[in-house]
Amino acid sequence: TTAFGPTVTTYVPQEPVPSPPDFVLWSFFNTMFCNVFCLGFIALSYSVKARDRKIAQDPAGAVAFGKTAKILNIVALCLGTITIVVFTVLLIIFSRTSPVVN
């Protein structure tokens, strides 16, 4: 004889795999505002490569490209900030020392 009753199934949820960061927005910001030596553009290209690797289910490649994009973004942001500060200081100094023509 067979017993008919409720079937019990167990469901074990998969833990979500953390998505590696691709830094696209930060790279875009650096491309627009802190693009010293084109580092912002280069970081943007590595960020896009990281996103492509993420979509292609290659987390190791995405992490490698993302790490490179992060380093380039840090350097671009630092150099861009230094450049903006230096030019602002020079502009203030030279605007105060220039003779006034009447």
The 10s digit of each residue's pLDDT in 37-76 is 999 999 999 999 999 999 999 999 999 999 999 999 999 9
Q: For the chain, what is the domain count?
A: 1
Write out pLDDT tens, residues 37-48: 999 999 999 999
pLDDT of residue 2: 59
Structural domain including 41 reads 23-97
Query: Is residue 102 in some structural domain?
Result: no
Q: What is the DSSP string of the chain?
A: -----PPP----PPPPPPPPP--HHHHHHHHHH--GGGHHHHHHHHHHHHHHHHHTT-HHHHHHHHHHHHHHHHHHHHHHHHHHHHHHHHHHHHHHHSPPP-
Is residue 58 assigned to a domain? yes
Chain-centroid distance of CA 10 in Å reads 40
User: pTM for the full model?
Assistant: 0.77
- Asked, for residue 6, whether it belongs to a domain, the answer is no
